[in-house]
A and B are shown apart, each in its own frame.
Chain A
């Protein structure tokens, strides 16, 4: 486990892992299992019918973290992985996922993952997912994550996703269905550069009374990269939903942002906002007056924006 420098760098980038994780974990490397550990409260088992794992969190589990990073270090690896999470009632857990691809070859490496969460009553999940690619090969680095979440009464999820850099193509799909008094908060951070393309479809379905959903998406498109965002919040009951998309466009990049809200109930209160713009000249000038160079000012603004 974590045999090479590449392994260690990828795991630190995508899951902040330095050394063996504490608590439950499953490290997937080049389509195989590179390490797995269950705990008293979190059980991880491999699927027998297809690639992937089941993570079962016992009811009442409080404050435990489960790491399930995926790394691909060989060119030409292509995989489809299914991970299912069963979160028992009255739990509060952190799930740290993420995928890193190191591709030094000419063949495309690709990871497609489907994560499905079943979050029990009054449980809270903090789900973190970071994507990163590196390597100087010509082979593409592709990631297509799907995350489906079902929140029972009073359950909540805070989903923080970040595409750090280096992913040539991504097509994200996220769907969260909220029951009564459930809450979903998605913060998405995405950077594309070079000729990269990224597409993100999201849907929060507010089915339950007093459910709440919030999407906060921030992206930066540099060089010739292209991005497409389609967040949708649907209100089917007395609920509150808010979609906020902000993008910084640079170079010859292209961004389309299409936030949508749909109400099927008179008590649904839904709001959306979207903005695309370049870094404002006065922002750069202000930071230069504080002693930064123009390049440092730009980096500082982007770092803050995507933090």
Chain B
């Protein structure tokens, strides 16, 4: 179980302090699929980074399976079963897809078959990619799919995906949502997915809308999705609900 208790994240600007996250408290039970959604700049990625240890909260506590992990580093959290798929993954000259999957799986003798399983789930063929370097020769979408494959290889108890759909094509996206659905059905991991995609949101047990550093709404898909759509349309001065675009 993941518990976030009164998380604040504040940065210092020339003209004063800026609150990125303001008193976020949230509990996520095991094996739930929770989607964080909301407007850009609302604090979703910062919150996800705080869970992984990539950012340190100004105040507040993080508990994972009852243990206070607030002061633990990234590596310690990774070893406790937390994983994180970057929105814009880095590239590595000299490191191959196989190298990254091997490290992710923590198995120096990771078989080609296992690699193939992870890559297939993100729509890549092991024969084409396993020995390729994760460098500039790969497209943004390919790197993103490899990133997701490393999270699958980790088989972590908590998987955090930051906008996994960004930069990948429609076919791979469909494959990805199937994979999320399978993991969820198997009950093998808790998943936090930052997403704006209705297809991914619709998979969630719970949707958390984060805006201006706070939790604006949370609830089931049926409760939240209509509100999101209403907000989306309402926020647009051109569109009106149920009306045609002008």
Binding site for B on A (CB under 8 A): 218, 246, 280, 282-283, 285-294, 300-301, 304-307
Using CB atoms, name the residue of chain A closest to B74.
A288
Out of B79, B92, B99, which one reaches A291, CB within 8 Å? B79
By the criterion CB–CB under 8 Å, are B90 and A300 in contact?
Answer: no
Q: How far is the CA of A246 from the CA of B93 in the complex (A)?
A: 9
Out of B83, B94, B103, B150, which one reaches A292, CB within 8 Å? B103
B78 proximal to A (CB < 8 A): yes
List chain A residues, Cβ under 8 A from B92: 283, 301, 304
List chain B residues, Cβ under 8 A from A287: 103
By the criterion CB–CB under 8 Å, are A286 and B93 in contact?
Answer: no
What is the distance, in angstroms, from A162's C-beta to the closest C-beta of chain B? 13
By the criterion CB–CB under 8 Å, are B74 and A289 in contact?
Answer: yes
Q: How far is the CA of A293 from the CA of B78 in the complex (A)?
A: 10
What is the distance, in angstroms, from B146's C-beta to the closest C-beta of chain A? 11
Of residues 84 to 136 in B, which have CB atoms within 8 Å of A's CB atoms? Answer: 84, 86, 89-90, 92-96, 99-100, 103-104, 106
By the criterion CB–CB under 8 Å, are B94 and A283 in contact?
Answer: no
B65 proximal to A (CB < 8 A): no
Chain B contact residues: helix, strand, loop or mixed: mixed
In the complex where A292-B103, A304-B95, A305-B93 touch, is A286 in contact with B86 (Cβ < 8 A)? Answer: yes
List chain A residues, Cβ under 8 A from B83: 289-290
Please give the number of chain B residues whose Cβ is less than 8 angstroms from any Cβ of chain A in the complex.
24
By the criterion CB–CB under 8 Å, are B94 and A218 in contact?
Answer: yes
Q: How far is the CA of A270 from the CA of B79 in the complex (A)?
A: 48
Of residues 172 to 230 in B, which have CB atoms within 8 Å of A's CB atoms? Answer: none
By the criterion CB–CB under 8 Å, are B154 and A290 in contact?
Answer: yes
List chain B residues, Cβ under 8 A from A286: 86, 89-90
By the criterion CB–CB under 8 Å, are B94 and A290 in contact?
Answer: no
Q: How far is the CA of A307 from the CA of B95 in the complex (A)?
A: 9
By the criterion CB–CB under 8 Å, are A285 and B93 in contact?
Answer: no
B239 proximal to A (CB < 8 A): no
Q: How far is the CA of A280 from the CA of B100 in the complex (A)?
A: 16
Q: How far is the CA of A246 from the CA of B136 in the complex (A)?
A: 13
List chain A residues, Cβ under 8 A from B138: none
Among B78, B86, B150: residue with most chain A CB under 10 A: B78
List chain B residues, Cβ under 8 A from A218: 93-94
Q: List 7 A-B contacts (CB under 8 A).
A: A282-B90, A289-B52, A291-B154, A294-B75, A300-B95, A301-B92, A304-B96
Out of A288, A291, A293, A306, which one reaches B94, CB within 8 Å? A306
Among A289, A304, A305: residue with most chain B CB under 10 A: A289
List chain A residues, Cβ under 8 A from B54: 285, 289
Using CB atoms, name the residue of chain A closest to B150.
A290
In the complex where A294-B75, A300-B103, A304-B99 touch, is A289 in contact with B84 (Cβ < 8 A)? Answer: yes
List chain A residues, Cβ under 8 A from B90: 280, 282-283, 285-286
B73 proximal to A (CB < 8 A): yes
By the criterion CB–CB under 8 Å, are B95 and A291 in contact?
Answer: no
In the complex where A280-B90, A291-B103 touch, is A301 in contact with B74 (Cβ < 8 A)? Answer: no
Interface bits B69-80 vs A (CB < 8 Å: 1, else 0)? 000011100110
Q: How far is the CA of A218 from the CA of B95 in the complex (A)?
A: 13
List chain B residues, Cβ under 8 A from A290: 78, 83, 100, 103-104, 150, 154
Using CB atoms, name the residue of chain B closest to A295.
B75
What is the distance, in angstroms, from A307's C-beta to the closest C-beta of chain B? 6
What is the distance, in angstroms, from A287's C-beta to the closest C-beta of chain B? 7
In the complex where A287-B103, A288-B75 touch, is A301 in contact with B95 (Cβ < 8 A)? Answer: yes
List chain B residues, Cβ under 8 A from A300: 95, 99, 103
Q: How far is the CA of A90 from the CA of B100 in the complex (A)?
A: 40
| Ranked 7 nearest A-B pairs via Cβ | A304-B94, A304-B95, A305-B94, A288-B74, A282-B90, A291-B78, A283-B90
